[in-house]
């Protein structure tokens, strides 16, 4: 409950005011009536005719007659002759549009004074500050525009650069791939060549060895044959015969 | 209640709740002299003294005093000098009516004589505190006078002005309640706006509720009232007079619109707007009242607009050119023009005056009307309360709620009328600067 009241204190205080106001108004009126009675009892005016005064008043205060001319609210009772605050009233008193020339001149002077004071104290500084701010905003916008343009330019530049770099990278990769391919081919080729050479050499070696072996065999065979032949024919063969015989034998072997 | 208009009109005292400013005078000589001057006993003594020197024609001193005595209760308890003047006036008028001549000179009691008599009477403290006090005692007046003076802070009159009563001035320059309120408004505005101007110096943005509020109004008046009504510098580019120095700095061939001329008038419009809106809003504060509910003030403000119109128009077209500029350009042959144009000129110049007078009346009527409605609604509750009984309990809440609603409307009207006054001023000033 208290929490609700705290949250809505404006509404609550308004409601309270309304209630108290409603309750106290009639009470105030009673008090006022009591006071007024006291006043009317007293011989308030020397000639006693104040009650029906203001006849020459062209109807301005007619409404004052309806019921409350014998009480006293805020002390403004028109018919209370003891309130001298507006005694000796002129005809202009109750006209809301009466022209007060002194007030008009005073206002004119005070206003001109105010314009002069405010021109120095407020308007000129405010004008300058607003202009400064306006200029500042314009400058800031221009700055921002320049910055944006610069950024865009840079972006474009960098985009171009990045594209170039990407291309370069691609090229490098491609080249690397090409190099690798070439290297691979070369290595394979070299290996193949090496292998071939090795085989050829091996074959060569084999041939040589075979030939040597054959030579050896031939020689041994010739010797054996010579010796055999010598034994058979028992005769000495001269060198040429010897040579011819080897050859013949070799051929035989080869043929055989 | 006295005529409620008295609550709206200017006065020569500040009203506060009675309990806040209790008066406890114990003897007549302590009372303010303006109050004593209006007391019947003092007036009687004054009448006797004046009648001795200025009796009514054909009457003795005693007869004159008796005649005044019979007359005054029906004439707002006016003192003898008013009676003397009125009686003479009546006689002169009767004579004029009889003979058919112009009104002759009306005899009146010289102010200095009256003042001297009053001074003599009021300085006689012994007489006041014995004889007058005796009459007051007999009639219970001391208590009543204290009651009526409670809650009324009477403004001292340092400039030698003489009051007629607490609501009217008699002679000389009298300092009134709204004059002081106006001074307060000027000081208040100078303080608040100066603070704001320092807060936004060098183009800093406005910070805080008040600064932003002020800025909203300042920019509104400048951008929505002054500049559109008076126009940009390029509007003045064509056909302004050669001797106009102000038009020169504003001519840019291209680029954004400049408003150097409009901005020259803006401070006056700013001042008008803030002064009027502050005065209007003061009317919503109990016991203060709005100076703009007084014809003198609105007339003074309209005078400011008229002066600004006159000066800015004369600066644009020259002192003679301004007046000639009132004639709209018409395609007339010379013979017709020489007849028509002077007539048009008279109408236009009268229109110029009327426009500015209406400016004053509009603001006054709006402020007075709102306060009158409030007064009558509250008065309803008062009447019901005086009537007593159960009715008051029904009427009072309705009256309070009604007064609250009208108060809200008044709040709106306070701003609206300040805006309307400023806008129309700007339009009048703008019209005077342009060629017709």
Interface confidence, given as ipTM, is 0.85
Chain A positions touching B144 (Cβ under 8 A) are 39, 44, 80, 82-83
Residue of A223 and A145 predicted with greater confidence? A145
Could you tell me what percent of chain A has a pLDDT over 70? Answer: 70
Q: Which of B1, B74, B295 sits opposite A100 (nearest CB)?
A: B295
Q: Does B221 touch chain A (CB under 8 A)?
A: no
Range A56-69 average pLDDT = 38
Taking a contact as any Cβ pair under 8 Å apart, which residues of chain B between 375 and 394 contact chain A?
381-389, 392-393
What pLDDT is stored for residue B335 in this prediction? Answer: 83
CB A78 to CB B3 under 8 A? yes
Find the CB nearest B300 among A107, A117, A122.
Answer: A107
On whether any CB of chain B is under 8 Å from the CB of A59, the answer is no
Q: What angle do CA B321, B327, B332 make, to 5 degrees?
A: 120
Exposure letters B160-171 (e unless 16+ CB within 10 A, then b): ebbbbbbbbbbe
Residue of B nearest to A105 (CA): B300
> Residue A244: pLDDT above 90?
no
Of A43, A75, A133, the CB nearest to B148: A75
Assigned token pair, B182 = 């106006």
Contact at CB, A87 and B266, closer than 8 angstroms: no
Q: Is the pLDDT of residue A76 over 60?
A: no
H/E element holding B116?
helix B111-123
pLDDT confidence bin for A60, thresholds 50/70/90 = very low
Does residue A29 have a pLDDT over 60?
no
Residue B169 phi, psi dihedral angles, 5° rounding: -95, 150
| Residue A58: Cβ-neighbour burial (10 angstroms; 0-12, 13-18, 19+) | exposed
Task: Give the closest-approach CA distance of B378 to chain A in angstroms.
Answer: 11
Chain A positions touching B363 (Cβ under 8 A) are: none
Asked if B291's CB is within 8 angstroms of A67's CB, the reply is no
Longest dimension (CA), chain B: 88
A230 in B contact zone (CB under 8 Å): no
Query: What pLDDT, on a 0 to 100 scale, did the predictor assign at position A90?
Result: 77
Residue B179 forms contact with A (CB below 8 Å): yes
CB contact under 8 A, B186 and A106: no
Indicate yes or no: CB of B167 within 8 angstroms of CB of A130. no
Of residues B250 and A220, the one with the higher pLDDT is A220
Residues 36-95 of B with CB under 8 A from A: 38-41, 44, 69-70, 73-79, 82
- Spans of chain B below 70 pLDDT: 1-2, 237-255
pLDDT at B252 (0 to 100) = 45
For chain B, say whether A7 makes contact (Cβ under 8 Å): no
> What's the maximum distance between 2 C-alpha atoms anywhere in chain A?
212
Contacts with B, A 130-189, CB within 8 Å: 130-136
B 139-158 residues inside an 8 A Cβ radius of A: 139-141, 144-145, 147-148, 150-152
Kindly tell me if the per-residue pLDDT of A64 is higher than 90: no
Residues near B161 by beta carbon (within 8 Å), at least 6 away in sequence? B169, B170, B171, B172, B173, B174, B175
Report the distance separating Cα B345 and Cα B322, nearest Å: 12
Say whether pLDDT at A233 is over 80: no
- What is residue A224's predicted lDDT score, i.e. its pLDDT? 83
The pair of structure tokens assigned to A26 is 């009639």
- B/e letters for B67-96, b = 16+ CB within 10 Å, e = fewer, are bbbeebbbbbbbbbbbbbeebbeebbeeee
Q: pTM higher than 0.80 for the full model?
A: no
Neighbours of A175 (CB within 10 A): 10
CA-based nearest distance B244→chain A, Å: 23
Which residue does chain B place closest to A69, by CA atoms? B1
Query: Got the DSSP string for B336-392?
Result: HHHHHHHHHHHHHHHHHHHHHHHHHHHHHHHHHHHHHHHHHHHHHHHHHHHH-STHH
> Residue B33 in contact with residue B161, Cβ under 8 Å?
no
The Cα B33–Cα B118 span in angstroms is 9
């Amino acid at each position: 409950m208290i929490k609700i009241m705290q949250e809505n204190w404006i509404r609550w205080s308004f409601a309270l005011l309304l209630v108290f106001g409603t309750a106290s108004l009639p009470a105030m009126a009673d008090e006022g009536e009591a006071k007024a009675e006291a006043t009317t009892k007293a011989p308030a005016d020397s000639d006693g005719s104040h009650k029906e005064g203001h006849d020459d008043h062209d109807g301005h205060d007619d409404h004052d007659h309806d019921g409350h001319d014998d009480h006293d609210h805020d002390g403004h009772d028109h018919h209370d002759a003891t309130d001298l605050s507006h005694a000796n009233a002129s005809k202009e008193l109750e006209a809301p549009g009466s022209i007060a020339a002194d007030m008009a001149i005073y206002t004119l002077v005070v206003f001109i004074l105010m314009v002069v004071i405010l021109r120095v104290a407020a308007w000129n500084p405010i004008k300058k500050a607003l202009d400064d701010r306006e200029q500042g905003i314009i400058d800031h916008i221009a700055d921002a525009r320049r910055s944006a343009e610069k950024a865009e330019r840079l972006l474009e530049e960098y985009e171009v650069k990045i594209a170039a770099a990407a291309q370069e990278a691609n090229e490098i990769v491609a080249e690397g791939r090409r190099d690798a391919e070439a290297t691979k081919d070369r290595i394979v080729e070299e290996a193949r060549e090496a292998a071939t050479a090795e085989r050829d050499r091996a074959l060569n070696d084999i041939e040589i060895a075979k030939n040597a072996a054959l030579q050896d065999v031939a020689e041994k065979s010739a010797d054996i044959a010579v010796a055999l032949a010598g034994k058979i024919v028992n005769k000495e063969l001269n060198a040429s015969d010897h040579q011819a015989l080897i050859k013949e034998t070799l051929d035989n072997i080869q043929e055989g | 209640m006295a005529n409620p208009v008295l609550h709206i009109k200017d006065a020569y005292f500040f009203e506060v709740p009675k309990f806040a400013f209790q008066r406890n005078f114990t003897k007549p000589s302590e009372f303010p002299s303006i109050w004593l001057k209006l007391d019947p006993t003092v007036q009687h003594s004054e009448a006797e003294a004046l009648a001795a020197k200025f009796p009514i024609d054909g009457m003795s001193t005693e007869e004159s005093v008796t005649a005044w005595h019979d007359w005054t209760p029906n004439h707002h308890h006016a003192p003898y000098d008013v009676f003397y003047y009125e009686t003479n006036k009546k006689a002169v008028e009767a004579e004029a009516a009889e003979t058919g001549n112009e009104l002759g000179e009306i005899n009146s009691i010289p102010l200095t004589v009256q003042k001297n008599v009053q001074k003599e009477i009021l300085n006689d403290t012994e007489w006041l505190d014995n004889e007058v006090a005796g009459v007051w005692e007999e009639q219970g007046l001391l208590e009543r006078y204290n009651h009526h003076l409670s809650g009324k802070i009477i403004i001292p009159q340092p400039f030698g002005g003489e009051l007629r009563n607490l609501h009217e001035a008699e002679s000389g320059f009298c300092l009134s309640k709204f004059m002081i309120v106006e001074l307060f408004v000027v000081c208040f505005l100078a303080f608040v706006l100066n603070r704001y101007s320092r807060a936004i110096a060098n183009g800093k943005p406005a910070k805080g509720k008040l600064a932003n509020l002020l800025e909203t109004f300042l920019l509104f008046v400048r951008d929505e009232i002054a500049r559109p009504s008076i126009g940009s510098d390029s509007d003045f580019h064509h056909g302004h007079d050669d001797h106009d120095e102000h038009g020169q700095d504003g001519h840019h061939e291209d680029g954004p619109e400049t408003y150097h001329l409009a901005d020259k008038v803006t401070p006056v419009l700013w001042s008008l707007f803030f002064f009027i809106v502050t005065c209007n809003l003061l009317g919503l504060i109990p016991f203060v009242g709005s100076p703009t509910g007084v014809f003198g003030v609105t007339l003074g403000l309209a005078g400011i607009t008229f002066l600004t119109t006159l000066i800015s128009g004369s600066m644009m077209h020259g002192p003679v050119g301004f007046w000639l500029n009132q004639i709209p350009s018409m395609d007339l042959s010379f013979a017709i023009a020489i007849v028509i144009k002077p007539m048009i000129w008279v109408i236009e110049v009268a229109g110029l005056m009327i426009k500015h007078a209406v400016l004053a009346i509009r603001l006054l009527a709006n402020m007075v009307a709102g306060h009158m409605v409030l007064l009558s609604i509250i008065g309803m509750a008062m009447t019901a309360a005086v009537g007593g009984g159960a009715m008051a309990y029904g009427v009072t809440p309705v009256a309070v709620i009604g007064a609250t609603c009208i108060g809200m409307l008044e709040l709106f009207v306070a701003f609206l009328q300040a805006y309307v006054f400023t806008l129309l001023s700007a339009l009048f000033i703008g019209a005077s600067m342009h060629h017709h």
